[in-house]
Structure 1
């Protein structure tokens, strides 16, 4: 079986990746990393920026972990929720890991559509990790 993680090189995505590496080690599972396109600007607020340095650090973390993994890139015109849910179905995921971030009061009323779909439609357990999550060795 495999663990699927929805990933972007953002604080929430990086937290999800760290948590999924830990879970993959615990379960001796393969890791399937679904790298979604950058979030679009919403409600007049800029989207959370990706950091190339963060992406390089994440690649190094993944390489150092020794975890068997597969990277699945999502086309920018595709729905990230579809890609993540499809990956879960394809590999018969035992766990799905996604990152979450703090929301504004208005944002709390309307959950991000991708997160909402994943939570409602995933056929495996979903672990939501807050952006500030760190691993204690």
Structure 2
């Protein structure tokens, strides 16, 4: 089994990665870290650049966990790509980062996170970034 992390270069993405590292150690399972973009924008702030992706690799190597990094342009939205990857790697759990929202934002919650939470066939752990 594998723990799948939906990573974005944001405080919420860093919180998800931190939690997933702890979960990997606790369960003794490898990590599969997915960072994806549809590629339909000139700049997608959710897609890790080379330097950021190298920092993720260094962090995982330092932690000493077994891992696979998966950064790609995908024509599916990130939630669909995450769910498909979860199936492909037989994920035991999915870890996603969520951000704090305004009262109106809470009503909508976020379509990608909501899709993952409702459609995943395995447990989903939604992690918030620490307050700054």
TM-score normalized with structure 2 length: 0.83
Partner of 1:62, secondary structure, is helix
1:110 aligns with 2:72: no
1:14 aligns with 2:18: no
Residues 37, 46 of structure 2: 8 Å contact kept: no
The equivalent of 2:78 in structure 1 is 80
Consecutive unaligned residues in structure 2, runs of 5 or more: none
| Residues 5/51 of structure 1: CA separation in 2 closer, same or farther (3 Å cut) | closer
The equivalent of 2:32 in structure 1 is 32
Partner of 1:99, secondary structure, is strand
> Take 1:76 and 1:82, find their aligned partners in 2: how far apart are those partners?
10
Q: What is the RMSD of the two structures over their aligned residues, measured on CA atoms?
A: 2.5
> Take 1:4 and 1:27, find their aligned partners in 2: how far apart are those partners?
13
The equivalent of 1:119 in structure 2 is 117
> Take 1:50 and 1:91, find their aligned partners in 2: how far apart are those partners?
21
| Aligned mate of 1:95, from 93, 96, 106 | 93
Consecutive unaligned residues in structure 1, runs of 5 or more: 42-46
Q: How many correspondences in the alignment? A: 127
> Take 2:57 and 2:69, find their aligned partners in 1: how far apart are those partners?
11
What is the Cα deviation at residue 15 of structure 1? 0.4
The equivalent of 1:65 in structure 2 is 63
What is the Cα deviation at residue 77 of structure 1? 3.9
What is the Cα deviation at residue 25 of structure 1? 0.9
